[in-house]
Structure 1
């Protein structure tokens, strides 16, 4: 057994042992402190000790491999600290094992609670599992507005002040977006608390960054013409999607999720199943000739009319509307520059849902009773069963056809920008 002062020179001077063997150099001053050398030249500092003194089992604990950061001097200091632990009755081997297990567990927790990954867990196990109607929007808010900020930060390390800063940044762009981000981030944290993944939510009692008031934006006249023409500059399926959205007044996801199995072009009918409507009622939406023409132009043969109507891959309906809306806004700006009526020097911000409100307001302006307009857009509440539920599908059907046809004629007149072709208001019902 070689004994001597452990220094950089003496450690590196230990002769390599035969293959499969180990060579040791033990310090002549600090008992139990040594270096182990393998036949491949790996030199590792260690401490050998006996809990309880002589007669007890000898144990060894590894300090570290020779080199940076473990020099002979630093290894000696660490060995001295370990011997003090032994003197106090603390077994360094058990302590090192516990530290290793804690480190592994902390590493696993860090990976499991990394914000970007946890967003996906929340999306799958909460948003998707509950089948939330606005699920895609919820996931888009978290992924677009919050994941870039918090990245792989552990959920438990995110501070309230950091969340406030992130929401302020989002609010500078859109108060509405900041309110949505606040709502769903708060839900994500409370869900994590319920699961026992974190002890407390940093957003407990945090007020939203503003108040999202009731929207009243209505697009009229030249604005509808600009949006229609701007949609014409977009690629399919978005060109047709925006125009059908404008003409039918139905909800964004109802139109986006339109399937050929729901449509009878010969009858001019689109039955939206209860599973896809907000009020969970089947809805028969008459299709004006303009809508039918749009659909037939894209799908001229019956063989091509399968699956979702508005799709990028032929398999799933379009979803995620922020990028298409941004592209549409760009085309709107271009159309405003080309518009020569001087009635639209600028256009106030709008969202897709404003097209539905424009439809409703416009149809009332055309002289239709509110109950007919609301029937046309399925803005009806209340649950019914039995035969009543069957017959309600046909409620106000002649009136709904009249509403849809008049609105389409009005849009056609506006789009043509021909004052001689404008539909008179009250006369639209004729």
Structure 2
């Protein structure tokens, strides 16, 4: 290897010797050399010997990108690192392997994790929107608990339809039919995503059968409603039952307003208009992605005020998380409270969503006599068009506020009758429908 004091002019004019790879060592900085390929491409290289006696060569970049001065400065640093026992080539190789591993997408786990990242921004399928945080949380729970356990380490292309079928059958038989359905849907989404990314040629989840969903029909009795209300009236004094006052009031408010648990726990003061007695749920927080106006009965306003009085932090949320005032309590907290309550009181299989079904059933029954169409508006369902043409619902943006208000005010009266053993409250007036 020719050795000389390199200059900028020499670097610009240097040629390979005899058309072969040539290196010109720098006399000034030990280990630095100008490397020229047979085609004339020029780059900097650093040669060194490790503490173990191994000779190694490290590329410092092309001469068009790195000047002679910068190359010499880099060599001084790398030489000091080698003198201290370091091995820059080994470290660079390790970093490269880590980068390759990070973007290696072969197994169910690797592609699944990529899929969920894309779900957050709406790139998991064509014309998609970002998945809700609550939906992602639920799907990740099933993914981590069941799918990764059985299939996570398998290469995506090695999973067959029979494997997926056996997997969901095992879940249905030994865990639950619900877990089997969720996992099949999640796997189908992952494979559909992988097909679009050209990672696999087919989706093994197609034609996999899973137990059909059995609609829940549980309607709570008056006695059960009364027990839930009285139990969840703070301060809670049932032996063996621990539920925070905020969660308890959220359960009562869910019963009165008939809205979904996460919509109730996520209620903000900025969503409430006390003068008009309405709660405006923005489209970002509703299941059907539409704004939803919920009339607030006198009883609902009272519950909101009670919830505000027991808050330990100042927040825009009516039910703030005790750990972070900028977040609400999780809707799952209501489910956990129901589980604890039903276990302590031996109430059987009751769930927060049963409150919506029970309220809707009461509203359409002979007790109150509201048409199903009105109830669908209270529940914020979009499938019920009142026997009219489906296209009508696209243009009809009437909020049916007065109809919803009569329904929810009547339901509040009915709740008050139930919890007070059918004696009307002094601050509620029976409405004429």
Q: Structure 2 vs 1, CA of residues 199 and 140 (structure 1 numbering), >3 Å: closer, same or farther?
A: same
Structure-2 separation of matches of 1:106 and 1:260 = 46
Q: Structure 2 vs 1, CA of residues 159 and 138 (structure 1 numbering), >3 Å: closer, same or farther?
A: same
Deviations 1:294-324 (A, max 9, x none): 2212224999774333332222344462x65
Deviations 1:380-425 (A, max 9, x none): 455455xx74xx23x341x322321221232233334x35569xxx
Q: Structure 2 vs 1, CA of residues 165 and 400 (structure 1 numbering), >3 Å: closer, same or farther?
A: same
Q: Structure 2 vs 1, CA of residues 249 and 223 (structure 1 numbering), >3 Å: closer, same or farther?
A: same
Equivalent positions of 1:96-245 (< 5 A) are 108=101, 111-126=104-119, 128-129=121-122, 130-133=129-132, 134-171=135-172, 172-207=174-209, 209-229=210-230, 231=232, 233-235=242-244, 237-245=246-254
The answer on 1:314 being equivalent to 2:325 is yes
Structure-2 separation of matches of 1:379 and 1:194 = 33
Deviations 1:240-287 (A, max 9, x none): 322222211123443243222111234321012234334444322111
Structure-1 separation of matches of 2:314 and 2:377 = 27
Structure with larger RCO (C-alpha < 8 A, sep 6+): 1
Q: Structure 2 vs 1, CA of residues 40 and 306 (structure 1 numbering), >3 Å: closer, same or farther?
A: closer
User: How far apart are 1:327 and its partner, in Å?
Assistant: 4.3
Name which one, 1 or 2, has greater alpha-carbon Rg: 1
Gaps of 5+ in 2: 1-48, 55-92, 123-128, 234-241, 386-391
Equivalent residue for 2:281?
272
Contact 1:113 1:155 (C-alpha < 8 Å) held by counterparts? yes
Equivalent residue for 1:404?
408
Give 2:335's match in structure 1, choosing from 325, 338, 351. 325
Q: Structure 2 vs 1, CA of residues 158 and 325 (structure 1 numbering), >3 Å: closer, same or farther?
A: farther
Q: Structure 2 vs 1, CA of residues 227 and 150 (structure 1 numbering), >3 Å: closer, same or farther?
A: farther
Q: Structure 2 vs 1, CA of residues 158 and 376 (structure 1 numbering), >3 Å: closer, same or farther?
A: same
TM-score normalised by length of structure 1: 0.61
Query: Which SS does the other structure have where 1:299 is aligned?
Result: helix
User: How far apart are 1:196 and its partner, in Å?
Assistant: 1.8
Contact 1:256 1:317 (C-alpha < 8 Å) held by counterparts? yes
Q: Structure 2 vs 1, CA of residues 324 and 169 (structure 1 numbering), >3 Å: closer, same or farther?
A: farther
Deviations 1:17-66 (A, max 9, x none): xxxxxxxxxxxxxxxxxxxxx997789xxxxxxxxxxxxxxxxxxxxxxx
Structure-1 separation of matches of 2:50 and 2:274 = 82
Query: Which SS does the other structure have where 2:294 is aligned?
Result: strand
Contact 2:107 2:154 (C-alpha < 8 Å) held by counterparts? yes
The worse-fitting range, judged by mean Cα deviation, of 187-196 and 150-159 is: 150-159
Query: Which SS does the other structure have where 1:184 is aligned?
Result: helix
Q: Cα RMSD (Å) of the superposition?
A: 3.9
Structure-2 separation of matches of 1:238 and 1:268 = 22
Give 1:248's match in structure 2, choosing from 257, 271, 296. 257
Contact 2:364 2:370 (C-alpha < 8 Å) held by counterparts? yes
Equivalent residue for 1:340?
none
Query: Which SS does the other structure have where 2:293 is aligned?
Result: strand
Structure-2 separation of matches of 1:140 and 1:231 = 29
Q: Structure 2 vs 1, CA of residues 196 and 376 (structure 1 numbering), >3 Å: closer, same or farther?
A: same
Contact 1:288 1:404 (C-alpha < 8 Å) held by counterparts? yes
Structure-2 separation of matches of 1:110 and 1:160 = 26
Q: Structure 2 vs 1, CA of residues 149 and 330 (structure 1 numbering), >3 Å: closer, same or farther?
A: farther
**What count of residue pairs does the alignment treat as equivalent?**
313
Gaps of 5+ in 1: 1-37, 44-99, 337-345
Q: Structure 2 vs 1, CA of residues 273 and 157 (structure 1 numbering), >3 Å: closer, same or farther?
A: same
Q: Structure 2 vs 1, CA of residues 419 and 287 (structure 1 numbering), >3 Å: closer, same or farther?
A: closer
The worse-fitting range, judged by mean Cα deviation, of 139-148 and 405-414 is: 139-148
Structure with the larger helix share: 1
